[in-house]
Chain A
Amino acid sequence: MTQASFTGTEQYLASPELTAAVDVAVALQKPLLIKGEPGTGKTVLAEAVAEALGQELLTWHVKSTTKAQDGLYHYDTIQRLNDARFGEGDVKDIAHYIKLGALGRAFSADKRVVLLIDEIDKADMEFPNDLLHELDRMSFHIPETGETVTAKERPVVIITSNNEKELPDAFLRRCVFHYIAFPDEELMGRIVKVHQPDVEDRLLQQAMLRFYKLREIPEIRKRPSTSELIDWIAALRLGGLSAKDIEEAIPFLGLLLKRENDIEALTQPRRRLGRY
């Protein structure tokens, strides 16, 4: 078996762990589950993999109302009824009214494609379980037409999750897993500079120092992420504050911590009630 190994693209830099995860997922034809805090480049990875493998990318954006069925196919009954009423279209052929979803299109594609199932944790709890069978077998049945859609070329499936919900164990066991870690200070500096090219170095250093310290406080439940840091630095600059002003205090704390409990955790130690 000779296949191209994924080592990232010019735009996307992959770690050896990520490279191995992509390679093994492709070779063993298992879905690749990518987790990580928002803004760590999960979705972009799918684009990079598609580019590196020279395959088309199909994306299925999952929403809270998405059902597993939506990814397979949709039977447009109303259209068919309407056509029957007004004598339009080929009503006898039910296949005209079967519209394939992203998964269905990935299966029926002539060439192997990359299928991105984006933000799977947004959907209902049972959603990943409902897809188990289809992802295992890479086929599904359409009772309306009696047709079975089977993948001609098993697609490379990449699934992202923001950790909004825990995913079921049975689902996790079938996936190759990779977690994209939070950027370190060096990379974070580069990211901030993309958004704030002329930020003063001392302010940036000091702001990042406070930022990473804040992320280390265990009582803080919703840790500030990249976008919060960028907003905060923007606010500091608009307010005309310098590196010295944030040595002791954290002005505009609300931009970094969004939860009341987190702000409390920072400003006052936990009170104890009673002896029981």
Chain B
Amino acid sequence: MFLGFLYALRERGLNVGVNEWLTLVEALAKGHARSQLGAFYALSRAVIVHREGDFDRFDAAFASYFKGVEGFFALDDELMQWLQNPVLPPLLSDEDRAALEALDLDELKRMFEERLDEQNERHDGGNRWIGTGGTSPFGHGGTHPTGVRVGGGGGGRSAIQVAEDRRFKNLRTDRILDTRQISVALRRLRKLTKRGVASELDIDETVDESARQGGEIELVFNPPRKNRIKLMLLVDVGGSMDPHADLSERLFSAAHRASHFQAFEAFTFHNCPYETLYTDISRGVGEATEDVLKRLDEKWNLVFVGDAWMSPYELTHVGGAIYYGQQNRTTGLQWLQKLKRKCPKSVWLNPEPERIWAAESVTMVRRVFDMFPLTVDGLTEAVDTLRGARAHD
């Protein structure tokens, strides 16, 4: 039952590693929540789940796994068995192995045996939280800020019932790529140079200079190191990109908040950029692509985000733009080539899986730009490509 719970959690998509597992074992062996399901629920959730988005998965796994076990339950035998013969899931990572080594299993076993003896002497039936019972100066009780009843002394609802409520359902997020991962990837885009107002005290130079001045303090300042990277984000919106709107928005907000770029601009387009790049596409507000091109130089990094999924004539034909109002005189493909020529450091990120990149329009776009999937790995690869792409300088 004990180790099985770990697998039940994993089956629900919770990333439970050896680290979390050992923490739980350690807590149990130290006498926490060993014999009451309600306490076990609270304890295991606190050490196994790391973000509220995963609470629902945990509740679901817990409710189905412990269904039928009510109130009192005994983990003692199983825990002892496990401590005597610790079986761990395969595929240990380095971090897992380090965690295992750091844990003194013999010491843990000894402590656990002590707890057991203590418990037997007291004959309290094992339904107390050993080591915690009765010592609190504040006593039991109170209500939760959310109005959930308090367990502890009984009278509350069972852990199964609590778990079955699935209170955290609406916190659930099945994330593909979160802002942090995007920020971390974008962070690799940097080229540091000393620039701007000298505002950082250079201690070594100050000491040397002061010594040279015979002890008269001479403060030496340096300009802080700044990133010289300029980034422009061009995002396909609307139509087939609707399901990816959220993802594009996350990329945008991560890039926008990454304050380390020397310059950052973002435009949107629909399917393919033509004469205008939009800042607000629904109201048709934007800037002439020619004007934007004038501002660009090879120092800019262009990142396109789009599924490149359209009719081929939208790329190849004059007047092929999907909006009737947008009678383009230059073909979409030519615009893409113009942008690429001006900014050799440019990549295209595609939110659709690679297996459907065979479409004709996607193939055509890929002849102009290196294309990467909009995933953690894809983004990292794209950033590396941008770093590697040599501008003509």
Q: Which positions in A face B, CB cutoff 8 Å?
A: 1-10, 13-21, 23-25, 27-28, 30, 33, 35, 40-41, 52, 77-78, 81-82, 84-85, 125, 165-170, 172-173, 175-184, 186-187, 216, 270-276
Q: Determine the distance from Cα of A20 to Cα of B184 in the docked complex, in whole angstroms.
A: 33
Contact check, B215 vs A125: say whether CB atoms are below 8 A apart: no
Contact check, A15 vs B144: say whether CB atoms are below 8 A apart: yes
Contact check, B47 vs A176: say whether CB atoms are below 8 A apart: yes
Q: Which residues of B contact A35 (CB under 8 A)?
A: 51-52
Contact check, A19 vs B42: say whether CB atoms are below 8 A apart: yes
Contact check, A40 vs B145: say whether CB atoms are below 8 A apart: yes
Chain A proximity of B365: nearest CB distance (Å) = 13
Given A13-B144, A173-B17, residue A7 in contact with residue B43 (CB < 8 A): no
Contact check, B55 vs A179: say whether CB atoms are below 8 A apart: yes
Contact check, B239 vs A275: say whether CB atoms are below 8 A apart: yes
Interface 1/0 per residue, B373-392 and A, CB below 8 Å? 00000000000000000000
Contact check, A165 vs B23: say whether CB atoms are below 8 A apart: no
Contact check, B239 vs A276: say whether CB atoms are below 8 A apart: yes
Q: Which residue of B lies closest to A64 (CB)?
A: B259
Contact check, A125 vs B184: say whether CB atoms are below 8 A apart: yes
Q: Which residues of A contact B242 (CB under 8 A)?
A: 270, 272
Contact check, A82 vs B217: say whether CB atoms are below 8 A apart: yes
Chain A proximity of B164: nearest CB distance (Å) = 15
Which of A125, A178, A272, A274 is in CB contact (< 8 Å) with B322?
A274
Chain B proximity of A45: nearest CB distance (Å) = 10
Q: Which residues of B contact A15 (CB under 8 A)?
A: 144-146, 148, 150
Contact check, A24 vs B47: say whether CB atoms are below 8 A apart: yes
Q: Determine the distance from Cα of A154 to Cα of B141 in the docked complex, in whole angstroms.
A: 29
Interface 1/0 per residue, B171-193 and A, CB below 8 Å? 10000001111011001000000
Chain A proximity of B205: nearest CB distance (Å) = 12
Interface stretch among B25-33, B69-77, B293-301? B25-33
Interface stretch among B131-139, B226-234, B333-341? B131-139
Contact check, B142 vs A7: say whether CB atoms are below 8 A apart: yes
Q: Which residues of A contact B43 (CB under 8 A)?
A: 20, 24
Q: Which residues of B contact A2 (CB under 8 A)?
A: 131, 135
Contact check, B20 vs A78: say whether CB atoms are below 8 A apart: no
Chain A proximity of B189: nearest CB distance (Å) = 14
Given A16-B42, A85-B217, A181-B167, residue A7 in contact with residue B131 (CB < 8 A): no
Chain B proximity of A273: nearest CB distance (Å) = 3
Which 7 A-B pairs have CB atoms at the shortest separation, nearest pair first? A166-B180, A273-B238, A20-B42, A15-B144, A5-B132, A172-B50, A179-B52
Contact check, B215 vs A6: say whether CB atoms are below 8 A apart: no
Interface 1/0 per residue, B330-348 and A, CB below 8 Å? 0000000000000000000
Interface assignment of B140: CB less than 8 Å from any CB of chain A: yes
Q: Which residue of A lies closest to B43 (CB)?
A: A20
> Which size class do B's interface residues fall under?
35 or more
Q: Which residues of B contact A175 (CB under 8 A)?
A: 50
Contact check, A17 vs B136: say whether CB atoms are below 8 A apart: no
Interface assignment of B270: CB less than 8 Å from any CB of chain A: yes
Interface assignment of B289: CB less than 8 Å from any CB of chain A: no
Interface assignment of B127: CB less than 8 Å from any CB of chain A: no
Q: Which residues of A contact B119 (CB under 8 A)?
A: none
Q: Which residues of B contact A184 (CB under 8 A)?
A: 146-147
Interface assignment of B199: CB less than 8 Å from any CB of chain A: no
Contact check, A24 vs B46: say whether CB atoms are below 8 A apart: yes
Q: Determine the distance from Cα of A52 to Cα of B135 in the docked complex, in whole angstroms.
A: 12
Q: Determine the distance from Cα of A78 to Cα of B203 in the docked complex, in whole angstroms.
A: 9
Contact check, B136 vs A177: say whether CB atoms are below 8 A apart: no
Within 8 A of A (CB), among B120-177: 129, 131-133, 135-148, 150-152, 156, 167-168, 170-171
Interface 1/0 per residue, B194-222 and A, CB below 8 Å? 00000001010011001000011101000
Q: Determine the distance from Cα of A10 to Cα of B136 in the docked complex, in whole angstroms.
A: 13
- Could you list 17 further interchain pairs (A-B, Cβ under 8 angstroms) beyond the known A6-B138, A276-B309? A2-B135, A4-B136, A7-B136, A8-B138, A8-B142, A13-B145, A15-B144, A20-B43, A21-B42, A23-B32, A24-B47, A82-B217, A125-B187, A270-B242, A272-B238, A273-B239, A274-B323
Which of B39, B47, B137, B147 is in CB contact (< 8 Å) with A16?
B39
Contact check, A77 vs B50: say whether CB atoms are below 8 A apart: no
Q: Determine the distance from Cα of A5 to Cα of B27 in the docked complex, in whole angstroms.
A: 14
Given A4-B137, A20-B46, residue A28 in contact with residue B145 (CB < 8 A): no
Q: Determine the distance from Cα of A51 to Cα of B131 in the docked complex, in whole angstroms.
A: 20
Interface assignment of B282: CB less than 8 Å from any CB of chain A: yes
Q: Which residues of A contact B145 (CB under 8 A)?
A: 13, 15, 40-41, 180-181, 183, 187
